[in-house]
Amino acid sequence: MQQPSKKNKSIGTDGISEQIIKLGGEATIPYLARLLDMKINNCVLPADWKRALVIPIHKGSDRSLVTNYRPVSLTSVVCKQMEHVTASYLRTAWDKNDWLYGGQNGFRSGHSCGSQVITVCQNSADSRDKGDRIDAIVKDYSKVFDLDPHDWLLMKFAIS
C-alpha cells in the first residue's frame, strides 16, 4: 500500500492544508494576525479548532494489540500556527524575564526529556556518593485515561 503524500498528511478537521499557508506566504500574515487577535481578545475559538481527527499509527509487532499503536491527532493547521506563535511569545517572555527554574527542561529549546533524565541520574549518583538520603516518588500516567468514562469526557470537552 502506498503511503499518502506529505501534502495530505497534515490536513486537519478544518480542511485547510499546511501547503495553503506556505504558498500564501506573507500575504497570509494579516489574516493570521487578525485570527490571533480575535482568539486572544475575545476568547473565541472556531469550532474546527476544537476538534481533532485521531488516527492510530501502527508502531510495529502484533497489529491486533491496541498498545502497538500510537494516536496521531490531525487538528487545524491554522490553530497549530497560532499555538506556535503564542508559545514562541511565552518562551521569549520567560527567557527575557528569567521566570523559569533552571532545572525546567520541558517546553524549552535546547532541553529535552533526555537531558532531564541525565540530570536526575547525575544528581542521584552525586547524592549517593556523598551518602545523602534519596527519596523519590515515581508516577506513571500512561494509562490514566483508560479507566475514565470516555463518553462523559467527550461530553465535557464538547461543552467547554
Q: How many domains does the chain have?
A: 2
Length of the chain: 160
pLDDT digits (tens, 9 = 90+) for 35-81: 778 777 888 777 888 888 888 999 888 999 988 899 988 888 888 88
Provide the pLDDT confidence category of residue 1 given band limits of 50, 70 and 90: very low
Average pLDDT over residues 95-124: 82
Range of the domain at 65: 1-99
Share of the chain above pLDDT 90, in %: 10
Strand segments (E) across the chain: 53-58, 69-74
Regarding whether 123 and 95 lie in a shared domain, the answer is no
Regarding whether 83 and 32 lie in a shared domain, the answer is yes
Regarding whether 85 and 65 lie in a shared domain, the answer is yes
pLDDT digits (tens, 9 = 90+) for 10-28: 577 777 778 877 888 888 8
Regarding whether 84 and 127 lie in a shared domain, the answer is no
CA distances from 119 to 49, 105, 124, 152 (A): 37, 10, 8, 39
Which of 99, 125, 149 terminates a domain? The answer is: 99
Q: How many CB atoms lie within 10 A of CB 140?
A: 6
Regarding whether 133 and 93 lie in a shared domain, the answer is no
Regarding whether 130 and 106 lie in a shared domain, the answer is yes
Task: Judge contact between 13 and 48, C-beta under 8 A.
Answer: yes
Q: Cα–Cα distance between 118 and 124 in angstroms, integer?
A: 10
Question: What is the reported pLDDT for 3?
Answer: 47
